[in-house]
């Protein structure tokens, strides 16, 4: 009998051990998952599943209480899986909400992007137009600068043609200086500055031209008058009038010959008529034996002519004397006793 | 004691016999039906496994194990369908995970897209500012 009871107890123990008791911790986890699902809004978006999860959980607890552990574990797992499904649905809902929000934001962002693109296209077009306009303007400016510089060159050339280098050397030099500077600026592409300097050069060259023209006309007029004086040999060289008188003096003498006075009077008359004229008086050598004697005689002759002109009312400041010219040519007798007047326009 | 004759017992026995046969056939049909549903779950699991690499492996392994458990339970002739319910629910859970994964992927894509649009818009705005600056500079000349 004892052996029978002992065997029955051992059999009961083995039977209980083979039931593989589920850990109660798993139930706590499952319960916690159901609560998480509920907290995440499971009741709202999956009420049926929530109900099922709770129902299976209750059934699992009931089976556990009845010591049906295997069945309890299966039911608990069903409950837990449903809870996890609800949580996953919750997360999916959040993502779906995100998708909806992002789509809306993308629409807004695309709208802003299209607006900015339109603005950019418009501004690029505007920039292109401005660049074209500037290119045309620069081309025109370059063309204008070229024309101006050509005009300046022509004006300078015209002034030079009227002997501006003698009649108006300072203005001509100034005009040339501005012309060269204009050329440099043109080469550097600074058209505006080039045009400005070309214009300045033109203006100065025009003044030089006018002055040269006036002086040339005056020179011609004076030359014409001087040419009518008896015994006067007149030539115009480099803006000055050179007047030569021969035989004004007796040989080896500084006394003016009587018949030379009308010519000197006529010359004094021209000087009187044009107060701006200045004269340099120079005497050529005579045929005396020594150079010193020749120089001395020449000086005296210049003094004699100067004194006569002064006596005719010509101010001394308009008369200048030059050193005597020594003529060393042995055959030169015509040159002897020659007096030269270098007339300048002042 | 002999209240019921043999004549009376025979029809009752026949009725019980027919009832037993009927119930047996129904149980067999039910089992066949559950088996086909398990096969359907297997197919669904395979498609989920192929559809997304984001599904946790342990959940996939668990599903496979539970399918096998459900099959074994059927083979042992157990009438309890809790194992099947558990497996069915697990596959449903995986389906939901797959949908969640797809939604997450879509949300990530849209997030990247909006970032891209914003960066492009900033670039366009910067370029536009430079163009406006150039226009102003040229207009001042």
Same domain, A297 and A320: yes
Same domain, A248 and A204: no
Whether residue A219 lies inside any domain: the answer is no
Whether residue A4 lies inside any domain: the answer is no
Optimal mutation site among A50, A89, A95, interface B, most CBs of chain B within 10 A: A95
Is A13 within 8 Å of chain B by CB? Answer: no
pTM for the full predicted model: 0.58
Same domain, A102 and A42: yes
The residue among A34, A90, A96 whose CA lies nearest residue A60 is A34
The residue among B36, B45, B96, B97 whose CA lies nearest residue B66 is B45
| Residue A230 DSSP symbol | T
Question: Number of folded domains in chain A?
Answer: 3
- Is residue A305 within 8 Å of residue A256, measured between CB atoms? yes
The residue among B103, B101, B113, B96 whose CA lies nearest residue A96 is B103
- Quote the minimal CA–CA distance from A119 to chain B in Å: 7
- What residue numbers bound the domain in which A198 lies? 136-213
| A116 contact residues in B (CB cutoff 8 A) | 121, 124-125, 128
The mean pLDDT of A120-124, rounded to a whole number, is: 96
A98, A123, A148: which is the final residue of a domain? Answer: A123
- Return the structure tokens found at A82: 């449903």
The mean pLDDT of A86-101, rounded to a whole number, is: 95
Whether residue A14 lies inside any domain: the answer is no
- Is residue A76 within 8 Å of residue A30, measured between CB atoms? yes
Task: Check residue A291 and give its pLDDT.
Answer: 72
Tell the residue number behind the tokens 């005689």, with chain if given: A297
Where residue A17 falls among pLDDT bands split at 50, 70, 90? very low
Same domain, A89 and A191: no
Whether residue A271 lies inside any domain: the answer is yes
**Does B103 contact A95 at a Cβ distance shorter than 8 Å?**
yes
- Quote the minimal CA–CA distance from B124 to chain A in Å: 7
Same domain, A234 and A337: yes
Whether residue A131 lies inside any domain: the answer is no
Same domain, A27 and A66: yes
| B83 contact residues in A (CB cutoff 8 A) | 74
Task: Check residue A155 and give its pLDDT.
Answer: 94
- Please name the member of A85, A106, A120 whose beta carbon is closest to the beta carbon of B131: A120
Non-local (6+) Cβ contacts of A229 within 8 A are: A243, A263, A266, A267, A270
Task: Check residue B5 and give its pLDDT.
Answer: 67
Whether residue A72 lies inside any domain: the answer is yes
pLDDT at A123 over 90: yes
Same domain, A154 and A261: no
- Is residue B48 within 8 Å of residue B92, measured between CB atoms? no
Where residue A1 falls among pLDDT bands split at 50, 70, 90? very low
**Upper half-sphere CA count for residue A244 (Cβ side, 13 Å):** 10
If one compares B62 and B81, the residue with the highest pLDDT of the two is B62
- Is residue A281 within 8 Å of residue A321, measured between CB atoms? yes
Write out pLDDT tens, residues A185-214.
Answer: 999 988 889 999 999 999 999 999 999 999
Is A78 within 8 Å of chain B by CB? Answer: yes
Highest mean pLDDT among A122-131, A295-304, B24-33: A122-131
- Quote the minimal CA–CA distance from A87 to chain B in Å: 10
Distance of CA B136 to the CA centre of its chain: 64
Same domain, A147 and A108: no
Task: Check residue B70 and give its pLDDT.
Answer: 85
- Is residue B75 within 8 Å of residue B32, measured between CB atoms? no
Whether residue A260 lies inside any domain: the answer is yes
| Residue A258 DSSP symbol | G
**Does B117 contact A89 at a Cβ distance shorter than 8 Å?**
no
- Please name the member of A91, A102, A116 whose beta carbon is closest to the beta carbon of B111: A102
A96, A123, A150: which is the final residue of a domain? Answer: A123
A123, A154, A182: which is the final residue of a domain? Answer: A123
Q: Which of residues 101-140 of A touch B (CB under 8 A)?
A: 102-103, 105-106, 109-110, 112-113, 116-117, 119-120, 123-124, 126-127, 130-131, 134
Write out pLDDT tens, residues A281-335.
Answer: 988 766 656 777 778 888 888 999 999 999 999 999 999 988 776 655 554 444 4
Task: Check residue B81 and give its pLDDT.
Answer: 73
Task: Check residue A337 and give its pLDDT.
Answer: 67
Share of chain B above pLDDT 90, in %: 50
Task: Check residue B3 and give its pLDDT.
Answer: 57
| A78 contact residues in B (CB cutoff 8 A) | 82, 85-86, 89
Same domain, A241 and A327: yes
- Quote the minimal CA–CA distance from B112 to chain A in Å: 10
- Is residue A159 within 8 Å of residue A175, measured between CB atoms? yes
Report phi then psi at A239, rounded to 5: 80, 5
Q: What is the DSSP string of B51-77?
A: H-TTS-HHHHHHHHHHHHHHHHHHHTT
Same domain, A160 and A193: yes
Task: Check residue B4 and give its pLDDT.
Answer: 59
């Amino acid at each position: 009998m004892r052996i029978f009871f002992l065997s029955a107890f051992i059999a009961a123990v083995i039977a209980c051990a083979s039931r593989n008791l589920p850990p109660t911790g798993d139930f706590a986890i499952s319960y916690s998952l159901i609560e998480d699902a509920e907290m995440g809004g499971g009741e709202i978006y999956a009420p049926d599943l929530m109900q099922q999860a709770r129902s299976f959980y209750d059934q699992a607890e009931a089976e556990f209480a009845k010591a049906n552990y295997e069945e309890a574990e299966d039911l608990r797992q069903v409950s837990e899986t449903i809870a996890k499904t609800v949580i996953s649905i919750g997360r999916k809902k959040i993502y779906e909400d995100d998708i909806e929000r992002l789509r809306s934001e993308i629409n807004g962002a695309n709208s802003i992007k299209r607006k900015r693109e339109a603005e950019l296209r418009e501004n690029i077009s505007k920039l292109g137009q401005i660049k074209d306009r500037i290119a045309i303007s620069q081309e025109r400016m370059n063309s204008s600068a070229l024309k101006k510089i050509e005009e300046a060159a022509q004006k300078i050339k015209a002034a030079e043609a009227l002997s501006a280098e003698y009649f108006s050397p300072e203005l001509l030099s100034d005009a040339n200086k501005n012309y060269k500077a204009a050329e440099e600026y043109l080469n550097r592409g600074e058209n505006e500055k080039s045009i400005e300097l070309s214009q300045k050069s033109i203006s100065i060259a025009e003044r030089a031209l006018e002055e040269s023209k006036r002086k040339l006309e005056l020179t011609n007029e004076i030359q014409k008058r001087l040419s009518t004086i008896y015994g006067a040999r007149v030539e115009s060289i480099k803006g000055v009038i050179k007047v030569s008188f021969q035989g004004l003096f007796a040989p080896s003498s500084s006394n003016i010959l009587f018949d030379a006075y009308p010519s000197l009077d006529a010359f004094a008359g021209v000087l009187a008529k044009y107060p701006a004229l200045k004269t340099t008086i120079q005497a050529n050598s005579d045929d005396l034996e020594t150079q010193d004697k020749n120089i001395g005689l020449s000086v005296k002759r210049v003094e004699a002519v100067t004194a006569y002109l002064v006596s005719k009312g010509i101010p001394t400041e308009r008369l200048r004397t030059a050193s005597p010219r020594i003529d060393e040519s042995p055959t030169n007798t015509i040159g002897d006793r020659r007096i030269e007047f270098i007339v300048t326009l002042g | 004691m002999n209240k019921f004759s043999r004549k009376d017992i025979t029809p009752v026995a026949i009725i019980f016999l027919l009832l037993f046969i009927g119930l047996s056939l129904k149980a067999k049909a039910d089992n066949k039906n559950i088996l086909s549903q398990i096969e359907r779950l297997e197919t669904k699991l395979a498609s989920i496994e192929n559809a997304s690499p984001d599904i946790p492996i342990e959940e996939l392994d668990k599903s496979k194990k539970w399918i096998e458990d459900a099959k074994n339970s059927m083979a042992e002739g157990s009438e309890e369908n809790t194992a099947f319910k558990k497996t069915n629910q697990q596959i449903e859970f995986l389906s939901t995970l797959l949908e969640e994964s797809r939604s997450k992927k879509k949300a990530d894509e849209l997030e990247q897209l909006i970032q891209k649009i914003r960066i492009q818009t900033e670039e366009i705005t910067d370029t536009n500012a430079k163009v406006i600056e150039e226009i102003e500079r040229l207009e001042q000349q």
